[in-house]
Amino acid sequence: MRIEYDVKLDFKDVLIRPKRSILQSRAEVKLEREFRFKHAGTKWKGVPIIAANMDHTGTFDMAVALGEHQLMTALGKFISLEDWKKFANDYAEILPSCFVSVGISETDFEKLAQLAKVVKFSSICLDAANGYTERYVEFLVRLRKAYPDKVIMAGNVVTGEMVEELILSGADIVKIGIGPGSVCTTREKTGVGYPQLSAIIECADAAHGLGGQVCADGGCVTPGDVAKAFAAGADFVMLGGMLAGHDECSGEIIEENGRRFKRFYGMSSAEAMEKHHGAVAEYRASEGRSVNVPYRGAVKHTVNDILGGVRSTCTYVGAQRLKELSKRTTFIRVTKQLNEVFVPYTLNDNK
Ligand code: 5GP
């Protein structure tokens, strides 16, 4: 057994120090970024925020709504071939902003091969709660061989050496985050995890050294957290909870005591496992929870709130483009981040 005494940080442990700036207003800030992907060799331009590939947020309606703002969506893993075909046909222009999600089983590999025959998708999200297993890496190598020109986002991991291994094994983008998610119970159930801000800082450094990118996945609760993730070096930021509860999310509106909600559950929750696999396998504990999140209307209001926040961050540090935010950031370690005397910034107060 070993103990590391270096303090690792979360979003709540830091603030971004303002810097002198020549920017007049946040309207001058450009949030678009352009990337060329290491293995796929393709280019992408847009606002590098991605809706999580969870049943609730990874929907075609979300892809269409976010696509209008040049944001991306990782579609859920359980979408049928028929639905994909219809979407690709009706919304060909949105397709380049979508990730197809795939797990690491043989069935997943075959399903993807079927899809590739009929839908010209550009990007794959190879999804596993734990990207550290040998089986995962072998699957990634196989996927890269089969799809040399598709963008592959792989994860999740939280340490530099594993980021390097995934990039060398074929990942263009590595997804960072174990345990920070809003409906994740991994830390309670297993005691495993890594504070998300430090994970991003360390992993971004490792990825950039090899010409790869990282996507910070999980734990953002406010637009300020999204800004901190970018400031820490994330190339992309993936959001679940912050995009939950909207019209574009799956599930009906639930009325309770005169208030409206939508159901949001973790993809490893008992609810998800029962839905997709019939039951929770006996050998595994569920590592996700289910919650009713307040209904929040159209997602475009939330998107504007997030993008407005990140633009403002850039203005505070004098970054004219999102790309410069990380270089211009000095984080300061704090013991108190927000004044919560009235209403804390929660999922339901974006209006
Ligand atoms: P959020 O933005 O809601 O904080 O985090 C979203 C991320 O949480 C997802 O992209 C995914 O990586 C992770 N996640 C989703 N469902 C589960 C789950 O059931 N268990 C765990 N451990 N993580 C989950």
Q: How far is CA 345 from CA 258, 339, 341, in A?
A: 22, 10, 11
- Extract the tokens encoding 231: 């400031």
From the CB of 202, is ligand 1 less than 6 Å away?
no
- 98 carries an active-site annotation: no
From the CB of 280, is ligand 1 less than 6 Å away?
no
CB atoms within 10 A of CB 221: 18
From the CB of 58, is ligand 1 less than 6 Å away?
no
Helix and strand counts by DSSP (H, E) for the chain:
11, 15
Distance CA 184, CA 165 (A): 25
DSSP per position, 39-108: TT--EEEE--EEE-SSTTTS-HHHHHHHHTTT-EEE--TT--HHHHHHHHHH-TTTGGGEEEEE-SSHHH
Query: pLDDT at position 351, please?
Result: 39
Catalytic residue among 98, 125, 184, 249: 184
In testing the pocket of ligand 1, which one of 267, 276, 286 has its CB within 8 Å of the most ligand atoms?
267
Query: pLDDT at position 349, please?
Result: 46
| pTM over cut 0.85 | yes
From the CB of 225, is ligand 1 less than 6 Å away?
no
Q: Considering only CA atoms, which residue is closest to atom 8 of ligand 1? A: 181
**Residue 181 CA to ligand 1 centre (angstroms):** 4
Q: CB within 8 A of 166, min separation 6: which ones?
A: 131, 137, 140, 154, 155, 157, 174
Helix (H, G, I), strand (E, B) or coil at 189: helix
E-strand spans in the chain?
14-16, 33-36, 43-46, 49-51, 72-74, 98-102, 123-127, 151-157, 173-176, 213-217, 236-239, 253-256, 259-265, 290-294, 331-333
Query: pLDDT at position 350, please?
Result: 42
- Extract the tokens encoding 146: 């089969």
Distance CA 83, CA 86 (A): 5
**Residue 343 CA to ligand 1 centre (angstroms):** 25
Q: Considering only CA atoms, which residue is closest to atom 10 of ligand 1? A: 52
From the CB of 218, is ligand 1 less than 6 Å away?
yes
As averages over each run of 10 residues, the pLDDT of the chain (351 residues) reads: 96 97 88 98 98 98 98 97 97 97 96 97 94 97 98 97 98 97 95 97 98 98 98 98 98 95 95 87 80 97 98 96 98 92 58 39
Strands 259-265 and 290-294 come out as: antiparallel
Query: pLDDT at position 27, please?
Result: 86
- Extract the tokens encoding 332: 């300061």
Q: What is the largest CA-CA distance in the chain?
A: 60
